[in-house]
Amino acid sequence: MDYQNIILEIDGPKAKICLNRPEVFHALNASILEELASAFQELGENETIRVITLTATGAEAFCSGADLKEGMANAGRPLGEILAENYEPLIIGIRECPKPVICQMNGIAAGAGMSLALACDLIIANDKAYMTELFVGIGLMPDAGSMYFLPRLVGVQKAFELCSTGRKIYMEEALQLGLVSKVAPENELEATVNQLTDYYASAPTVAIAQMKKVLNLTYESSLQQMLASEAKGQTRCGFTEDFGEGVMAFLQKRKPEFKGK
């Protein structure tokens, strides 16, 4: 796909997707959502890619949410149809992507931009960023997955507060709530993310994919179902080259050299 609204960079086993609509603080319209969904599908199917970073160009915003100008053009169309058509394929694509997805939050993540960040496996943010579920300010409820991800991270009461007030969540609080994994000074954000992606680029990729797949099932499964899912995933891991390498490295008292296979 010829990308016009995102920049896709590949460096060996590492891929980076950058939202690239700085003139509107990387607001989400149908075109960028389609490109993002396509990029995640492409990278998920690429066996050489072992970790994906999602970020945005510039330093002011990660994503300001839905493009309201495009929304005005769709006035009268049921919003649920727009969500199903444009947003759901992307959010599901991130969660089902068999590679770890790291959000490098370089600035504000608002509305659907916050949803996009929460869909990632980990969020590393700069200390000047903030998040906000600002939907209530225009008479809407959060969407694009926020109502699924947020209460699982902070609990239902706190999620209700954050959604119904739409207040800003600065990074000190976001870290305390577990919304982000780490906060870095603005000038150290990229280096901090690179340390993490370097780790995943040399980690046992199949095992991590199985972890992600089974963790996605945890809130909808009984203990027995989770045990069965663990067993199925572990069977898959047990037939990988990385498992054999890991055992051999342990016995030889050396660091394993995982190939992601």
Q: Looking at residue 75, what is its pLDDT?
A: 72
Residue 72 confidence (pLDDT) above 70:
no
What Cα–Cα distance (Å) separates residue 188 from each residue in 20, 127, 191, 202?
A: 21, 10, 5, 22
Q: Looking at residue 46, what is its pLDDT?
A: 96
pLDDT in tens, 139-172: 999 999 999 999 999 999 999 999 999 999 999 9
Residue 28 confidence (pLDDT) above 80:
yes
How far the first Cα of the chain sits from its last, in Å, is 27
Residue 71 confidence (pLDDT) above 70:
no
Spatial CA neighbour of 110 closest among 176, 27, 51, 29:
27
Average pLDDT over residues 70-92: 87
